[in-house]
Amino acid sequence: MIALLTLTLSAAHAFSGTNGRLLLRTCDPTAEGAQRSSYLRTMRPDGRDFRTVAKFHTPSNDCYVDQATWSSRGRAILYSTGNAVWTIRPDGKGRRRVLDAGAYAAWSPNGREIVFVERVEDNKAALFRVRLDGSALRRVMLGLESDVYAPSWSPDGRTIAFTRYYRAQESIWTVGANGSRLRQVAAAGRWPDWSPDGRRIIFTDRLSVWTMAPSGNRRHRVTPPVLEFETSQATFSPDGRKIAFVRGWRAWVMTAGGKRAHPVSPVDSLVSQVDWQAR
């Protein structure tokens, strides 16, 4: 049992640096052939220097890592498994357990806290925040009668965006990091993330990549709808000039205006999520 403690966040703006490596969360066959496992991989945005950070094998043939993100300065990777939250260095060393609970964990912009999802009742889920040393756990909001996933903390530390899945519909919501102002900002959408300046939220509707103001206004479709391949997730580069996204189980890169979209990840690796390192 983890005791709930109070915490005051001194939020810092997210570090905006040069574009580093892409982090890929993949679900790939093992050496045995039939089984699949979660992997954390990194690569250069041009597709070169593909590396494996970690492999997570279970006999149940389950790709159970649900979210993975770079720290704000690109020195560590945070990932969660639905029942634990961990950090690891990009070279695959220094793995450390942060919590013995939690799903869909993501960094705060100052790197001192994380936000994650936890079930609070059989049919409800809520966001929690905790310091990186596992102390000062605090519930951000009351439980919602739905699935909640893919939270993302705004660069100024004041707002958390997340996906709600309720009655077979995905929607995007925001809530203050202090638990205030819970509201829906997009009736359809998934896996929100923030632009480096915090002025736009990027997301997908499984057909296209979109951006919008944090209020939900001024929506812009970045890519035309694609029916034959699902477009499942997207993120800005640290300099805000490019977008990496997942389409048809591959990582793609394009300009922030939606030009020159092209796949960059290997065809034999099934990508579920991509995140862009700041350096």
Q: What is the pLDDT of residues 127-173, one digit of tens each?
A: 999 999 988 999 999 999 999 999 999 999 999 999 999 999 999 99
Q: Which residue has the tokens 């819970």?
A: 182
pLDDT, mean of residues 95-104: 95
- How many CB atoms are closer than 10 A to CB 235? 26
According to the model, what pLDDT value does residue 223 have?
98
Residue 253 region, left (φ>0) first, then alpha (ψ -120 to 50), else beta? beta
Distance, in Å, from the CA atom of 81 to the CA atom of 58, rounded to the nearest integer, reads 12
Q: What percent of the chain has pLDDT over 70?
A: 92
Mean of the per-residue pLDDT values for the chain? 91
Distance, in Å, from the CA atom of 30 to the CA atom of 10, rounded to the nearest integer, reads 43
Q: Among 8, 12, 59, which Cα is nearest to 157's?
A: 12
19-278: CATH topology is Neuraminidase (2.120.10)
According to the model, what pLDDT value does residue 98 have?
94
According to the model, what pLDDT value does residue 61 have?
62
Q: Which residue has the tokens 């309720």?
A: 166
Q: pLDDT tier at 14 (50, 70, 90 boundaries)?
A: very low
Residue 205 region, left (φ>0) first, then alpha (ψ -120 to 50), else beta? alpha
Q: Flag the least confident range among 40-49, 118-127, 189-198, 243-252.
A: 118-127
pLDDT, mean of residues 210-224: 97
State the pTM of this model.
Answer: 0.91
According to the model, what pLDDT value does residue 11 have?
33
Q: Among 13, 37, 17, 14, which Cα is nearest to 27's?
A: 37
Q: pLDDT tier at 122 (50, 70, 90 boundaries)?
A: confident
Q: Which residue has the tokens 């900002």?
A: 185
